[in-house]
Amino acid sequence: MNKIIFIWAVTILILGILVMSSSTTYAGYQLEEKMDVSIMMNIKWETLPDAGGNIKEQGSCFIQASGEVIKFVKEKKRRSRKQSSGVSEEINYLPQGKMKVTYKFNNKYYDRGSLCAEEEASGLKEVKGKDVQVGEPGFSLVALLGMAGKGTALQLCGDLNKIQEKIFTLREGPPDDNYMFLFTVPFRTTSKNYKERCEVPSPAGRVFGLNIALKKLDEKGMHGSLSWNARASDYHQAVVKECGGTTQFVEPSPGRKYNVRCNVTWQFGKVKPFVKIYQITENKDIDITNGETDVLVGKKVKIKAVVLPYADAGSGRWEGIPDTVISGYIANDDTGKVLKFKDYHKSEIEFFFVEGKPEGKKVTLTYTADGGKVMGKTSFRVFAPEIVMKELRPSKEITVGSIEKIKGKIGCWLYYGKLIKASPPEGEPGIIISHEIKLPVKFSGHPHLLQHVQTVKEEILEHHDIDYFQMANKAWCLDTYYPYGKMEPVGSPYKDPAPNKIQMNDTPSKELGLSTNEAHIRYQFQTYLMFIPSENPDDKSCAWIPLKVIEWDWRAGIKRMVDWRKDPPCDKDTFKILYKFPANPMSKDCKTYPEWTCNVANNKKKLIDGVEAWKKAKSEQEKKASN
């Protein structure tokens, strides 16, 4: 074989050559006699785990070409149909010694996880358009104008059984101008073997190719930027076509051996800069410029802005991003922290929407570059579940009693509510909080979880036989566990299990020891209803979102009336309740996340120095309670 031949999917494109010296405007775009060319290909690959065999590959190839191409016209025919002035034209652009390509290739071979060989290549070559010899890079660009563009689009994207019928019944309509190009870069490689008997291919030639089989030609010119993932049998060839505004990535041959990641950009001629915004997904980047994307609160949004034709974002800034969006949320028994979004000047960003509506809330984002001269925008419709308060019932009782196994102990307690026993709970808990959610129709059946997170401010004053103590936290601390309660799954042994529902029965308490003579307590709580759009509570592609917060508190004071040495029972006669204030809970929409740097379980008693200090501490606590 002496030549590399460019074979297009459309058989009518034979590279006959007629020189055209004038420039012509099509689809609002000026086709010049000479055009600058810029092409970049960045391909990475690795052998799939299930591909079979002991040898696994991992490699990359970076190719960059630039230079100039000259216009040649194959044919220009005026259609003979009456009352028609339609033109069918094919214009070829070929390099004439003024186009260069650089390449860098590396492929590593692993035998059972150990590096056994490496294949490399790099260099600079001239790109040719005619009479391309073996081992030489080649390039050809074809503009398909008028009926040539329509026919080509029909052949590549239409129903093959009806192509002939459609071609002969085409009516006059708007111009359908398209273009296609083929770029191939062959080179020889060298290899190094690090282990004996490493079964790898012998050093030979590699040929990487980019075939844009069909692309719309409009007033913005000939340019593009594409990124995609593929499970493919080959990582050398990238074949792409655009049908009806949808980009299709064509598998060059059947089979699934490699995981391939491709990034390609190109620009031919003069192009007015503009911004494209892409949604980054696992398999490919989706163009969402000027579009609207539905998203559920708590689902990670990954987008990037590209200033084309440069395949770079330049020095730009995102605007329209709500102040409430976050970059993440970290929560455990010791820390609760919101990671605030700060990447307004980065072209590629990821974040989570926190606020939405059941019917959707429209949010429009813009990316502005080049001092405001270049701008692109996209919109999101942000959905949030509807929240239904099923029950919010505070107890009116504050009790002194001995309750079996409350907090794992048998003892005397001052607690909120009135229980017969604590495990399993019987009687009246201090507070019952129950919610249900309804997912938006668009996300009906979407996996999700609910949980409660509770923070607390604890203030306790105690008088023992001869000492006075205080235990308090001024900042909000986590109430013992993260999370405080979870949504019970279907099939739970607990009563009334239901998806979309969560209930909390809480009975906060303070143990009264043998040496306790007097105690004054006040608890303030924030109980957050949290939602995540995943069945995995640690899903990195999602974040917990606060939907509601219930604010409630209770306080009471007691005084021992019977000396502990008489072994009195734990009741209201042994401990007189001096005052009691049950909770008056308030349900609020969430504006902030629960955050903490402390856990109430780690609170320690501090000694109060003397009676006067004790009286002062009591007075201050009473003032806070009355505010």
Tell me which residue range forms the domain holding 326.
Answer: 273-384
Question: Per-residue pLDDT tens for 566-609?
Answer: 889 888 899 999 999 999 999 999 889 999 999 999 999 899 88
Secondary structure of residue 614 in the 3-state scheme? helix
- Cβ proximity of 139 and 65 under 8 Å: yes
Number of domains in the chain: 3
What distances in angstroms separate CA 405 from CA 46, 378, 408, 412, 417, one per listed residue? 58, 57, 4, 11, 16
Residue 111 falls inside a structural domain: no
Name the helix (H) or strand (E) containing 89: strand 87-111
352: pLDDT strictly greater than 80: yes
What distances in angstroms separate CA 42 from CA 58, 285, 428, 573, one per listed residue? 14, 15, 66, 82
Q: Let me know whether 418 and 529 are in one domain.
A: yes
Question: Cα Rg for the chain, rounded, in angstroms?
Answer: 36
Collect all residues with Cβ–Cβ distance below 8 Å to 193 and sequence separation of at least 6: 116, 117, 200
Kindly indicate the confidence band of residue 8, based on its pLDDT and cuts at 50, 70 and 90.
Answer: very low
Residue 41 falls inside a structural domain: yes
Residue 20 falls inside a structural domain: no
Q: Let me know whether 296 and 218 are in one domain.
A: no
Q: How many CB atoms lie within 10 A of CB 248?
A: 14
Residue 95 falls inside a structural domain: yes
Collect all residues with Cβ–Cβ distance below 8 Å to 179 and sequence separation of at least 6: 141, 142, 143, 144, 212, 215, 217, 222
> Of 332, 350, 384, which one is at a domain's C-terminal end?
384
> Of 338, 364, 384, which one is at a domain's C-terminal end?
384
Q: Let me know whether 556 and 446 are in one domain.
A: yes
Q: Let me know whether 321 and 242 are in one domain.
A: no
Q: Let me know whether 266 and 325 are in one domain.
A: no
The rounded percent of the chain whose pLDDT value lies above 70 is 82
466: pLDDT strictly greater than 80: yes
Name the helix (H) or strand (E) containing 167: helix 163-168
Secondary structure of residue 238 in the 3-state scheme? strand
Lowest mean pLDDT among 2-6, 42-46, 434-438, 443-447: 2-6
- Cβ proximity of 112 and 56 under 8 Å: no
Q: Let me know whether 264 and 284 are in one domain.
A: no
Q: Let me know whether 304 and 395 are in one domain.
A: no
CA dist 554 and 252 (Å) reads 70
Bond preceding residue 483 cis, omega within 30 of 0: yes
Distance of CA 413 to the CA centre of its chain: 48
pLDDT at res. 26:
54
pLDDT at res. 12:
32
Q: Let me know whether 470 and 587 are in one domain.
A: yes
Residue 548 falls inside a structural domain: yes
Collect all residues with Cβ–Cβ distance below 8 Å to 495 and sequence separation of at least 6: none
Q: Let me know whether 356 and 405 are in one domain.
A: no
CA dist 419 and 425 (Å) reads 7
CA dist 547 and 531 (Å) reads 7
pLDDT at res. 409:
58
- Write down the mean pLDDT value for the chain: 82
Question: Which tokens hold the place of 46?
Answer: 């690795």
Q: Let me know whether 408 and 487 are in one domain.
A: yes
pLDDT at res. 604:
92
> Of 384, 400, 434, which one is at a domain's C-terminal end?
384
Residue 316 falls inside a structural domain: yes
For the CA atoms of 533, 536, 537, 543, the dihedral, rounded to the nearest 10 degrees, stands at: -40
Residue 336 falls inside a structural domain: yes
- Cβ proximity of 579 and 438 under 8 Å: no
Q: Let me know whether 368 and 458 are in one domain.
A: no
- Cβ proximity of 470 and 605 under 8 Å: yes
pLDDT at res. 79:
46
Residue 429 falls inside a structural domain: yes
Q: Residue 33: exposed, middle, or buried by beta-carbon count in 10 A (0-12, 13-18, 19+)?
A: middle
Secondary structure of residue 407 in the 3-state scheme? coil
**CATH number for the domain harbouring residue 339:** 2.60.40.3010
Q: Let me know whether 391 and 372 are in one domain.
A: no
